[in-house]
Amino acid sequence: MQVLTRPWGAMHYHCDTAAAGPTVVFATSLGTDLRLWDAVLPLLPGIRALRFDMRGHGLSDAPESLGLSIADLAEDAAALIEAVAGGPVVFVGLSIGGMIGQMLAVARPDLVRALVLSNTAAKMGSADSWNARIAAIEAGGIASIADAVMERWFAAPFRATPELAPWRNMLIRTPVSGYAAACGAIAAADLGATTARIGQPTLVIAGAEDGASPPEVVQATAALIPGAAFHVIPGTGHLPPVETPAAFAALLIPFLKEHAR
């Protein structure tokens, strides 16, 4: 177990310490942990992969985090990069992980060499919708919303396979306090002005069947970033590293070759 001590508690991370390549940081989505990247990492040779469980998720501590912000989560990521990588990295963020990446690239440009934003946006949903989700899980637990979340996460063919069950289990086993705090951070975030200031090379990826961050929403965010490349992966939902890891890796490989060193 690899742990970084933060003011709020223990932050669990995993780094391929034996790897000699450039460090690439992978940030997860709401309701998942660092296993989100398991299928895609073997397809990305020659990198030192650094991934982490954001607060309230996976094996990281789940403090009561009323008023948690994307800026707070970006500070956690910055602290991890400074402690483990010690210098600029390529940052790959999915969903809320992509929001963290947008914030970090502007707040700490010394730590971000290039940026990959997957299935994310400068603003995701409305505050009312996120507050309704918080109320639902506080009343009925995360299981009460799990089926609806699976429909947003995955395209229909994947939902018909046995592989769906572990991801549903991962979601419902997330602490309610951690999930609700992250929902609150997304609800309060409108990063448009920040995202328009991103100066690093940026690759933006969407899933054609994504019900959480539809391709047109992701594309609108890509349009804010000067020179950003935008790609849509067909037949996949909100979590391409799970559903279509080969297609996801095929987009990352040339980007990493160009910008990771």
Q: What is the pTM of this model?
A: 0.97
Residue 102 structural domain: 2-260
Per-residue pLDDT tens over the stretch 3-42: 999 999 999 999 987 678 999 999 999 999 999 999 999 9
Contact 109, 200 (CB under 8 A): yes
DSSP 8-state assignment for residue 36: G
Q: Give the model's pLDDT for residue 154.
A: 98
In Å, how far from its chain's centre is CA 233?
17
- Residue with tokens 């949903």, as numbered in its chain: 125
Q: Give the model's pLDDT for residue 261.
A: 83
Contact 12, 80 (CB under 8 A): no
Q: Give the model's pLDDT for residue 90.
A: 98
What residue type is 252 in one-letter code?
Answer: L
Q: Give the model's pLDDT for residue 87.
A: 87
Sheet holding 23-27, edge to edge: 2-6, 9-15, 48-52, 23-27, 89-94, 112-118, 202-207, 229-233
**How many CB atoms are located within 10 Å of the residue 244 CB?**
21
Number of domains making up the chain = 1
Per-residue pLDDT tens over the stretch 118-146: 999 999 999 999 999 999 999 999 999 99
CA distance 96 to 40: 19
Q: State the number of CA atoms in the 13 A half-sphere of 256 facing the CB.
A: 24
Q: Could you tell me the CATH number of the domain that includes residue 28?
A: 3.40.50.1820
Cα separation values, 189 from 67, 152, 210, Å: 11, 20, 20
Mean pLDDT by 10 residues, the chain (261 residues): 96 86 97 98 95 97 86 98 95 98 98 98 97 97 98 98 98 96 97 98 98 97 98 98 98 96 83
Q: From 91, 94, 96, 119, select the one nearest 198 (Cα to Cα).
A: 91
